[in-house]
Amino acid sequence: MDNSLYSLVDTLDRRLVSYGETITVVESCTGGALASALTAVSGSSQWFRLGLVTYADQFKRELVGVSREGLELEGAVSGIVVGEMVKGGMRLAQADYGIAISGIAGPGGGTEEKPVGTVWFGFGFGDQIEVAHMQFSGDRNMVRSQSVEFSLRKMLQLIE
């Protein structure tokens, strides 16, 4: 993990420890990279509750309660789905905060409507859910790493 990413995780670690709060993540296109980054910090077991990789839609539905309607209406890479992912992940883990990520990392899978690099994020804090959309560029690894960094930066903004 590079220094800037470690610094973000370290800052999140200090805030969660000081607040006595917890976080969970539900990932798709990042394949566990966010959970890996979060648990790279010693002592993360104090605040990291659960990390799920729900790559297949079936498990988005079965594990975190994403609605069939949301998947059929908007697709897995959408605001409605990441909102449901984060809500379900927080409920399952009984966590104070949550992050969900679903996107198209490439190189294939993109469409005109949702090109490669399209990533949706869900952020949960208490009873509130906020979603965000980003369009990243670069190869698969770059899209994934930019997604992890964005999610950490955004979560830090939300818990300040």
- 102 band by pLDDT with thresholds 50, 70 and 90: very high
Q: Which amino acid makes up residue 69?
A: E
Give how far Cα 57 sits from Cα of 36, 64, 82, 120, 158, Å: 22, 10, 12, 15, 28
Check residue 66 and give its pLDDT. Answer: 99
- 160 band by pLDDT with thresholds 50, 70 and 90: confident
Find the mean pLDDT for residues 69-90.
98
Residue 134 CB neighbours (<10 A): 16
- How many structural domains are present in the chain? 1
Q: Could you give the maximum distance between any two Cα atoms of the chain, in Å? A: 45
User: What CATH number is given to the structural domain containing 87?
Assistant: 3.90.950.20
Dihedral angle over CA of 51, 56, 77, 146, nearest 10: 50
The mean pLDDT value of the chain amounts to: 97
* Cβ-based neighbours of 160, under 8 Å, separated by 6 or more: 15
User: Range of 140's domain?
Assistant: 3-159
Find the mean pLDDT for residues 100-114.
97
pLDDT in tens, 7-43: 999 999 999 999 999 999 999 999 999 999 999 999 9
- 113 band by pLDDT with thresholds 50, 70 and 90: very high
